[in-house]
Structure 1
Amino acid sequence: MIRRRQFTHAGLLLPLTAALSSQVLSSQALAAKAQGDPSPSSRKILLDTDIGSDIDDAVALAYLLRQPRCELLGITTVTGDAQGRARLAAALCEAASVETPIYPGEETPLFVDSMQTDAPQTRRLKSREATFPNHAAIEFLRDTVHAHPHEVTLLAVGPLTNIATLFARYPETPALLAELVIMGGKFSDYPTPWGPTEWNVIVDPHAARQVFAAAVPKITATGLDITWQVSMSPEEVKARFREDPLLEIVLDWSKVWFEERELLHFHDPLTAATLFNPSLCRFQSGDVYVDLESKPIPGVTSFRENPASTIQVATNVDSDAFFKEYFSVFHQ
């Protein structure tokens, strides 16, 4: 089996019911409103994640929970053990004192066999009792987007099964997004250990192809060729992640990751951080194609420059600026 990041990509808040509105905001946003600050630069975010396999999903969620300009409207999880992934997300939300709806989503790809069936980081959870509503994630995403037309940024940092299902089931939804931001694909020849492939896309290549072809007003993708350039050793992670109680939880979960890995690459955190500091990367407009016939595995992505395209991909990164941005939210 070919795996990205070796190729492996792949809580506790009490279960939040569907009665929790999609309008629930992060505690930071609520505090700002209480102080009379409308936070004009804040962004309404829906996070779709496969937290629990690669540790960078948890690193990204910690950033979003501490980012004062993030109005986190909800979280959906994707790929195998979606319930366990929801518990991991809930654990971080509880630690950050943030209440937001959490829904387990689709566990299997549209057409290909599952390559990500478990969430190893759940082994670090101290409680496994919480459960979350099944078979409601897609409707939750639809309801939230429709409640805030042209205001919601959908941040997808896992395989795109939930997003493709949402767009297929409710075809009016893509046009109602403000932006779809994706960690996925590889759009240049920058060397990585797995050639032209990237995990989030090859796990569900048919979903990726449908999503990149959707009529979203704006799609922004940060590929593996860019995120691979931003990494830390276990020693660096241990030193920096003791600076905040939320990061200490992620540090504990990272023990599972570092059992088999030598570095933490900030794939998803970089993608999340560009929402609030776009200058971290340079972007170029163009067309993205997902090859369903590529060998030895479907899902190789390609990029062709097109100034008229509604898709833009990252073409470089300022690593030092990223780390400054990332850790800045934990020192306020």
Structure 2
Amino acid sequence: MLPLLLPAGVANAAEIKPVIVDTDIGDDIDDAFALALLLRAPEVSIEAVTTSFGNTTLRTRLVRRLLHQAGRDDIAVGTGPSTADSTRFTQAAWALTRPAAPAPDAVALLLERLRAAPTGSITLIAIAPLSTIGAAIARDPATFRRVRQVILMGGSVRRGYGKVPGTTSATPGNEYNIHSDPGDFRRLIESGVAVVLMPLDATEVALPLAMRRDIFGQPDPADRALAALYAQWAANNPWGPVPVLFDVVPVAWLLDPSVCHPVPIRLAVLDSGATIEQPGAANVHACLDVDRARVLGLLTERLKASPSAR
């Protein structure tokens, strides 16, 4: 039998964390940074990527092109249910250069991966409105409960969107992912699985210009793809040129739990998408603050690493 080859920096196979990523990549740029960080994490095995909300077919083409640039055509990508979505698909031109091709149904792919893995082994990283995940729970709740935990970017508990990138307001608001699909978030927290929530309180982390230049100046094809996606996003989005790394924080916490410390709380979910803290038994663990320097340091260290160091 051939010896098991492990990624650099990983001592044994038990250290490798299997994950499935559910993403609405293509509108804001933070999904692309989150996926790029996972691709540079030798301690993670990406079991599948599923696309969620809006034009999921085009999102699948974008994910496949990004994975191809990173030399990871082996990762399965599933297309979730399409939905109405008024947000601009800022990176559509880059996605459209990937030829259209059939893709698995994301709900079936997610459930198949959970059935095939030991119960409690796969972590689901949810960085999108939860239309695909909600459909999986509705289709087969027992299989969905095989997930280890769901690490979710969503909600606004004690603080809201700040007026300046990388800051928060003192007043909670309606965060985009939950506002877009409050019913499926409610379905998730009632599903019986462990949910680790990364709300606006902990995810307003801006990527400074100097760090962007460091990352985009790297010769690796995946870094060049990230730079191209950023350029399209910067030219087409209504929010300005400074990326806020909302979706990177769940990945950063998986890789380095010191970036934030989840606490047990109980949330009620209003139809507006508001997530209201209330008394009672906890239904999520939520990060209510974040070490921004650690998140930025982890991201830049991993994305600047040479391919041979991964």
Q: TM-score, normalised by structure 1?
A: 0.80
Which residue of structure 2 lines up, in the alignment, with residue 73 of structure 1? 47
Letter in structure 1 aligned against 2:216 = F
Q: CA deviation at 1:165?
A: 0.8
Letter in structure 2 aligned against 1:247 = D
Q: Please say which of residues 42-51 and 184-193 is displaced more in the overlay.
A: 184-193
Which residue of structure 2 lines up, in the alignment, with residue 326 of structure 1? 299
**Per the alignment, do residues 31 and 266 of structure 1 end up closer, same or farther by CA in structure 2, a change over 3 Å counting?**
farther
**Deviation per residue, 1:148-196 (Å, 9 max, x gap):** 1211101110000111111111010232111111011111135535951
Q: Equivalent residues in 2 for 1:272-287 (5 A)? A: 272-287=251-266
Q: 2:116 matched to 1:147? A: yes
**Per the alignment, do residues 69 and 196 of structure 1 end up closer, same or farther by CA in structure 2, a change over 3 Å counting?**
same
Which residue of structure 1 lines up, in the alignment, with residue 285 of structure 2? 312
Which residue of structure 2 lines up, in the alignment, with residue 247 of structure 1? 223
Query: What secondary structure does 1:285 align onto?
Result: strand
Instruction: Output the CA distance in 1 between the equivalents of 2:10 and 2:36.
Output: 26
**Per the alignment, do residues 214 and 248 of structure 1 end up closer, same or farther by CA in structure 2, a change over 3 Å counting?**
same
Q: Percent identity?
A: 25
**Per the alignment, do residues 143 and 232 of structure 1 end up closer, same or farther by CA in structure 2, a change over 3 Å counting?**
same
Query: What secondary structure does 1:275 align onto?
Result: helix
**Per the alignment, do residues 34 and 244 of structure 1 end up closer, same or farther by CA in structure 2, a change over 3 Å counting?**
closer
Task: Pick the aligned partner of 1:202 from 168, 179, 189.
Answer: 179
**Per the alignment, do residues 34 and 236 of structure 1 end up closer, same or farther by CA in structure 2, a change over 3 Å counting?**
closer
**Per the alignment, do residues 220 and 171 of structure 1 end up closer, same or farther by CA in structure 2, a change over 3 Å counting?**
same
Q: What are the ranges of 5 or more consecutive residues in structure 2 without an aligned counterpart? A: 164-168
Q: What are the ranges of 5 or more consecutive residues in structure 1 without an aligned counterpart? A: 1-29, 109-113, 293-297
Which residue of structure 2 lines up, in the alignment, with residue 226 of structure 1? 202
Instruction: Output the CA distance in 1 between the equivalents of 2:17 and 2:86.
Output: 30
**Per the alignment, do residues 191 and 51 of structure 1 end up closer, same or farther by CA in structure 2, a change over 3 Å counting?**
closer
Instruction: Output the CA distance in 1 between the equivalents of 2:210 and 2:95.
Output: 23
Instruction: Output the CA distance in 2 between the equivalents of 1:201 and 1:33.
Output: 36
Q: 2:18 matched to 1:44? A: yes
Q: Equivalent residues in 2 for 1:1-332 (5 A)? A: 31-32=5-6, 38-98=12-72, 99-108=74-83, 114-116=84-86, 119-125=89-95, 127-133=97-103, 136-148=105-117, 149-190=119-160, 192-193=162-163, 196-216=173-193, 218-228=194-204, 230-234=205-209, 236-243=211-218, 245=220, 246-259=222-235, 260=238, 261-292=240-271, 298-304=272-278, 309=282, 311-330=284-303, 331=305, 332=309
Q: CA deviation at 1:321?
A: 1.1
Q: CA deviation at 1:225?
A: 2.2
Aligned alpha-carbon RMSD (Å): 2.4
**Deviation per residue, 1:231-269 (Å, 9 max, x gap):** 024564233332352122111111222223131001111
Aligned length: 289
Q: TM-score, normalised by structure 2?
A: 0.86
Instruction: Check conservation: 2:111, 2:144, Cα contact below 8 A.
Output: no
Q: CA deviation at 1:126?
A: 7.0
Instruction: Check conservation: 1:84, 1:119, Cα contact below 8 A.
Output: no
Instruction: Output the CA distance in 1 between the equivalents of 2:69 and 2:206.
Output: 25
Instruction: Check conservation: 2:207, 2:296, Cα contact below 8 A.
Output: no
Letter in structure 2 aligned against 1:253 = L
Which residue of structure 2 lines up, in the alignment, with residue 24 of structure 1? none
Letter in structure 1 aligned against 2:234 = F
Instruction: Check conservation: 2:154, 2:200, Cα contact below 8 A.
Output: yes
Q: CA deviation at 1:304?
A: 3.7
**Per the alignment, do residues 251 and 63 of structure 1 end up closer, same or farther by CA in structure 2, a change over 3 Å counting?**
same
Query: What secondary structure does 1:309 align onto?
Result: coil
**Per the alignment, do residues 37 and 132 of structure 1 end up closer, same or farther by CA in structure 2, a change over 3 Å counting?**
farther
